[in-house]
Structure 1
Amino acid sequence: MTARLLRPGDDPIRPAQVDAVEITLDGETMRGVQGQTIAGIVLASGVLSWRRTSVDGRPRGLFCGIGVCFDCLVIVNGERDVRACQRRAVDGDAVASQHDRLPEASA
């Protein structure tokens, strides 16, 4: 069997042109490409944590990356409890970090 060489311009499976996406996280502009998740864009921008735990206020960001753990919760365009690892970014998305305090114990 011999190798079949294709010129790069003739390769039918080459990647298509991608469109840029711009989102904001707590007012800071971040750029990515169409198809990336919010977590992907945020991580690529150098931000490792964007949420704090309710009990100790410890920083959280992407942990499992598959929507199981809830560590990457954010508010997107006013919608709470969005998993940043599961939501594909849309140009113009306004993302806010989410921190929920524990409810007060009733006496």
Structure 2
Amino acid sequence: MFRARPDARPATIPVIVEGAEILVPEGASAAAAVLLAGLDAIRETPVTGSPRLPLCQMGVCFDCLATIDGVPNRQACMVPVAPGMRIARQHGARESGA
């Protein structure tokens, strides 16, 4: 479904997506890392539990909400990758007080 463009920069930044280390191009977003990792979903909606993947890639739809480096409700499409970044699925609504 998703694959890097043939003219994309080489994948050189190691990030951890759901426990698996993958290499992504410098300057890519955490959402792009999720797509490159081949996950079937990055979050579940709070009400119905419907699976969601990044959609708009520009911060409008909120379908890319993820836990990034332990912080829930991050818009993965708006966060550039950094070496060692940890990206995890978000299940439902965030914990209160988080």
Question: Shorter-chain TM-score category?
Answer: 0.7 to 0.9
Relative to structure 1, the CA distance from residue 19 to residue 25 in structure 2 (aligned partners, 3 Å threshold; closer, same or farther) is closer
Please tell me whether the aligned partners of residues 55 and 102 of structure 1 are also in contact (alpha carbons under 8 angstroms): no
Structure 1 residue ranges without an equivalent (≥5): 1-16
TM-score by length of 1: 0.71
TM-score by length of 2: 0.76
Q: Which has the larger radius of gyration?
A: 1
Partner of 2:89: 97
User: By how many angstroms is 1:102 displaced?
Assistant: 9.0
Give the RMSD, CA atoms, in angstroms: 2.3
| CA apart distance, 1:37 | 0.5
Number of aligned positions between the proteins? 88
- Report the identity percentage: 31
The residue aligned with 2:27 is 35
Match of 1:66 among 58, 61, 76: 58
Matched residues in 2 for 1:62 and 1:56: separation? 18
Within the alignment, does 1:86 sit opposite 2:78 as a pair? yes
